[in-house]
Amino acid sequence: MAQPARLEPTLEARVDDNAVIRLRGVVNRFGTQTVHDGVDLDVRRGEVLGVVGGSGTGKSVLMRTIIGLREPQAGTIEVLGRDTRALDNAEAKELRSHWGVLFQDGALFSSLTVAENIMVPLKEYTNLSPRLMEEVTKVKVTMVGLPVEAGAKYPGQLSGGMRKRAGLARALAMDPAIVFLDEPTAGLDPIGAANFDQLIRSLQQSLGLTVVMVTHDLDSLIAICDRIAVLIDKKVVVGTIPELLKLDHPWIQEYFRGPRARAAFGS
Amino acid sequence: MNLTGSIETRPDGNNLVVAARGTWTLATIGGLDKDVRAISPSSGQTVSIDLQDVGLLDTAGAWVLFRLRERLKSEGFTAEFAHVGGSHEGLFHHIVECEEQPPMNLQKFHPFRRLADRTGYQSYQMWLETKAMLAFFGEMMLTAAGALMRPRRLKFTSIVSHMEQVGINAMPIVGLLTFLVGVVLTFQGADQLRRFGAEIFTVNLLGISFLRETGILMTAIIIAGRSGSAFAAQIGTMKVNEEVDAMRALGINPIELLVLPRTIALILVMPLLGFYADMSGLVGGALMAVISLDLSIGQFLTQLQGAVPMWSFWVGIIKAPVFAFAIALVGCYNGLKVEGSAESVGRMTTRAVVQSIFLVIVIDAIFSVIFSFIGI
C-alpha cells in the first residue's frame, strides 16, 4: 500500500530482498576527524530501527547522509534499490517523494500554517484539485492526532509536542515508504513522549512504514523499535536488544545495563 | 506493477457494483477523483464498493473511496465496502477518525473582508505599539534617573566600548558618504545658480544646508541603519538565548545593563559624528568649488564665513542627541521585543531600522517648525 508507486518494476525486484536501505562502507569525515569509517547497515522493509550512540558519534550525520543532505567521502547508499549518489536531479527528486523526514523541532516553515506546510509536498509532487488536497490534508492532520483547528494555525502558535505532530504530518504527506525521525521524543514530557511512541507504532503498522529513528529515549527504544543500530568505534552494530546485550562492548553494556536502562526495562 | 488506477460501475441485479482497480495513491488519485465524484446510482440500488482488485492504496486513495461511500449513504443509498484487504483496513481506521472531526476551517475570507480585517488589526497594533514604546520610554527614564543618582552603577567600560562601536567604527562610512553628498550638492548648486550668474552663492547653499540639515540628517540615517539595527540584533539574540530572562532571574535590570550603556554612548557620540560629518561635507564641497567654480580655498572660506552664521551650526548639532536618543530607544525596544525564534530577530531588526529612520525624519520636521517659530 505505501510502497513506492512510481519506481520501475525492475527495481522493485531488487527491493524485495527486504532491505529498503543499504549502506556499504560509508565514510564521513569532517576535516581530519573521521566520524564514520566504513559503516554497513541494512534497514529491512517494515521495521522500526532505532539509531543510538554517544554524543558526537554521528547519529544525525548518518541520517543526513542517507537522505542526501550530506555527501559521504566514500561508500554506497542504496535506498529502495537505487544508488542515491548516482541519480540525476529528476530521479533524486522522485526518490525524495518516497521518504519523509521529521526534523528535531519539526522544522515547519514558519511563514505557513500547519495545513499549508502539509500541502507543500502535495503541491510539489501531485496534481490534486485544491478541494481534494484540502481533504487529504485534513486526513493527515487528524491521523497524527492534531485537532482540526490546528490546521489554520502557524507553527509559532503551537506547543512543542504539537509542532512535532505537525512535522510528522508533513513527513507523511506523500504516504512515503520510509520515514526518518530525528529525536522524535526529545523535549516532550514522559506522557507526551509515550503517546508519540504509540502514534509512530500505530502509523507504522497501519501504513506499513519503514521507520528509522535517531533517539536517546530508552523507553522508545524498548517500546517500539524492532532492532537497534548502535554507533560505536565509527561503525554500526545492529541487532535486537537481547542480541546487543550479548556483545561484550563497554559502551553497549553501560548503555543497556546502566541505571536508566534498568528503570526503562522495569527490572 | 500496475501504475494506473481505474473505477468502473456495473449493475448486478438490483445492486450496483463499483469496482476499484489498480493503484489508488497520490500519483493516480488526481485523475480518479473526478470519476468518483461523478458516480450516481439510480434510485433504489444498493451499492457495493468492491476493493478486490485494488493493488496499492494510500491514505489519499482510501479517503476518496471512503468519501464516496459516505456521500452515497447521505443520499439515501445503502452503500458498503466489499473485499477490503487486510492490509488496507488500518488505513480506513484513520479515515474514520478524520471523518468524525468537524471540517477544517482554513479561514479564507473574502478579499474585502480581509482588507478591512487587516486595516483594523494593523491600526490597533500601531496604537498598542505606540503605548508600549511610551511605556518603555518611561521605564528607561526611571532607570536612567536611578542610575544617575548612583553613577557607580553605570557600566563605564560598556559605555566606552559602545562608543567605539557606534562612533569610531562608523567614521569611515559617515565620512565618505557625507563627503560625496557635499560634492554632489556643490556641483548641482553651481550648475543651477550659474544660469543666474550667482555661482558664488553655491557656497552659501552648501554651508547652510549642510550645517543645518544635511550633515546631521545623513549621519542619523546612517547610524539608524548601522547601529539601530545592531542594537536590535544584539539584544534580540540575547533574548532568544534567554540571556535577558537569566538577567531578570538574577535580579539584574536588563534596561540598566543593556539599554542605558548603548543609549548613553550613542548620545555622547552623535554630536561628534555630526560635527565630523559637517566638516567632511564641507571639504567635499570645497573641493568641488575649487574645481568647478574656480575659487581658491581662501575665497571659499571667506565666502563661507560671511554666509553662515554660527547659529546654523548649532541648529544642526543640537538635534544630534535627540536623534541619538530616538535611534537607541527604538533599536533597544525592538531588540527586547524579540520573542521565540531567530526569525523574530530578523523581523525586529528590520522594524528597528524602519521605525528609527521614520522617527528621525519626523523629529527633524518638528525641529524645523520650532526653529521657524523662534526665528533662527
Tell whether the model's pLDDT for residue A6 goes beyond 70: no
The reply to whether B190 and B63 lie within a common domain is: no
Q: Looking at residue A3, what is its pLDDT? A: 41
B105 falls within a domain: no
Check: CB of residue A219 under 8 Å from CB of residue A194: yes
DSSP label of B259: I
What pLDDT shows up at residue B328? 96
Q: Which domain holds residue B57?
A: 5-99
Do B143 and B80 sit in the same domain of this protein? no
Alpha-carbon distance A154 to nearest alpha carbon in chain B (angstroms): 11
Q: What is the mean pLDDT of residues A59-88?
A: 87
Handedness of CA B145, B149, B152, B156 (dihedral sign): positive
CA-CA distance, A177 to A45, in Å (whole number)?
9
pLDDT score at A17:
61
Residue A266 has pLDDT above 80, yes or no: no
Best of A117, A206, A207, A209 to disrupt the B interface (most B CBs within 10 Å) is A206
B76 with B181, same domain: the answer is: no
**What residues contact B20, with CB distance under 8 A and at least 6 apart?**
B5, B6, B7, B49, B50, B51, B53, B54, B65
A25-29, A91-95, B300-304: least confidently modelled range: A91-95
- Compute the nearest-CA separation of A9 from chain B (Å): 6
CA distance B134 to B231: 18
Q: Are residues B23 and B69 in the same domain?
A: yes
pLDDT at A15 over 70: no
What interface predicted TM-score (ipTM) does this complex get? Answer: 0.71
Are residues B58 and A140, on separate chains, in Cβ contact within 8 Å?
Answer: no
Q: Of all residues in chain A, what percent carry a pLDDT higher than 70?
A: 93
Structural domain count, chain B: 2
- B297 in the same domain as B188: yes
pLDDT of chain B, 376 residues: tens digit per residue? 457 888 888 888 888 888 888 888 888 888 888 888 888 887 778 888 888 888 888 888 888 888 888 888 888 888 888 888 777 777 787 788 777 777 777 766 788 888 898 999 999 999 999 999 999 999 999 999 988 888 887 888 999 999 999 999 999 999 999 999 999 999 999 989 989 988 889 999 999 999 999 999 999 999 999 999 999 999 999 998 888 888 888 888 899 889 999 999 999 999 999 999 999 999 999 999 999 888 899 999 999 999 888 888 999 999 999 999 999 999 999 999 998 778 889 999 999 999 999 999 999 999 999 999 988 7
| Residues of A with Cβ-Cβ distance to B88 under 8 angstroms | 1
| Cβ neighbours for B192, distance < 8 A, ≥ 6 positions apart | none
Distance CA(B155)–CA(B160), nearest Å, equals 9
Q: What does chain B come to in residues? A: 376
B189: CB partners within 8 A, 6+ apart: B201, B202, B205, B206
Q: Pick the closest to residue B360 from B265, B228, B272 (CA basis).
A: B228
Nearest C-alpha in B relative to A6 = B3
Residue B118, domain member (yes or no): no
Q: Is the model's pLDDT at A134 over the cut of 80?
A: yes
C-alpha cell read off for A217: 529515549
Nearest to B3 among A6, A143, A151 (CB): A6
Chain A CB within 8 Å of residue B83 CB: no
Give yes or no: residues B132 and B86 share one domain: no
A57 neighbors A35 (Cβ within 8 angstroms): yes
> According to the model, what pLDDT value does residue B227 have?
95
Q: Are residues B141 and B77 in the same domain?
A: no
Q: Quick check: B210 and B182 in contact, CB under 8 A?
A: yes
Least Cα distance to B260 among B337, B157, B333, B159 occurs for B159
CA distance B321 to chain A (A): 38
- Shared domain for B201 and B130, answered yes or no, is yes
List phi, psi (to 5°) of B296: -90, 165
* Adjacent-strand bridge partners of B8: B19
Same domain, B356 and B246: yes
Interface test with A, best of B2, B92, B106 (most A CBs within 10 A): B106
pLDDT at residue A131 is higher than 80? yes
Of B81, B99, B117, the residue that ends a domain is B99
